């Protein structure tokens, strides 16, 4: 998978830094980082990333609401990250969700799934790249 431009929306500083470092080690570029719902919407519309990784529950506002607002203007493949995937994520079965804590291999599969979903292909687990940690 070629290097992608990725927006990270995460309000926990340690997780934010860890995620950015992990993405850069995977060969991606973090084009923007946001901590609130409003910052996420503004950054996404300004930078037009290839993929967004959004914490479902941001400290100020909702990552889910931010993505819903962004999608009104343009479709951007996205992944929701949450420590509680049962109550903290969208109910849409097509949503790509990754549970915290996650490994690089989990993140690689989630990115591939979001991109496949964006191209209207059904993601197949066997087709997902297997990253090594």
- pLDDT tens digits for 78-126? 999 988 766 666 666 668 999 999 999 999 999 999 998 877 544 333 3
Average pLDDT, the chain: 86
**pTM for this one?**
0.84
CB atoms within 10 A of CB 50: 20
Task: Please report which confidence band the pLDDT of residue 128 belongs to, taking 50, 70 and 90 as the band edges.
Answer: very low
Domains in the chain with CATH codes: 5-127 (3.40.50.2300)
pLDDT tens, residue by residue, 10-19: 999 999 999 9
Helices (H), the chain: 13-25, 37-47, 63-73, 104-118
Q: Which of 100, 98, 99, 101 is nearest to 79 (CA)?
A: 98
Task: Please report which confidence band the pLDDT of residue 1 belongs to, taking 50, 70 and 90 as the band edges.
Answer: low
Residue 56: is its pLDDT beyond 50? Answer: yes
Q: Are 89 and 56 in contact (CB under 8 A)?
A: yes
Q: Are 53 and 19 in contact (CB under 8 A)?
A: yes
């Amino acid at each position: 998978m070629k290097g992608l431009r990725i927006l990270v929306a995460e309000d926990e500083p340690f997780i934010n830094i860890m995620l950015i470092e992990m993405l850069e080690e995977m060969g991606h570029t973090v084009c923007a980082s946001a901590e609130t719902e409003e910052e996420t919407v503004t950054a996404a519309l300004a930078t037009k990333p290839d993929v967004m990784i959004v914490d479902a529950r941001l400290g100020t506002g909702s990552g889910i609401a931010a993505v819903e607002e962004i999608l009104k203007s343009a479709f951007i493949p996205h992944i929701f990250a949450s420590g509680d995937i049962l109550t903290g994520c969208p109910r849409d079965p097509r949503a790509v969700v990754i549970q915290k804590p996650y490994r690089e291999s989990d993140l690689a599969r989630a990115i591939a799934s979001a991109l496949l979903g964006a191209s209207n292909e059904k993601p197949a687990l066997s087709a997902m790249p297997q990253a090594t940690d």
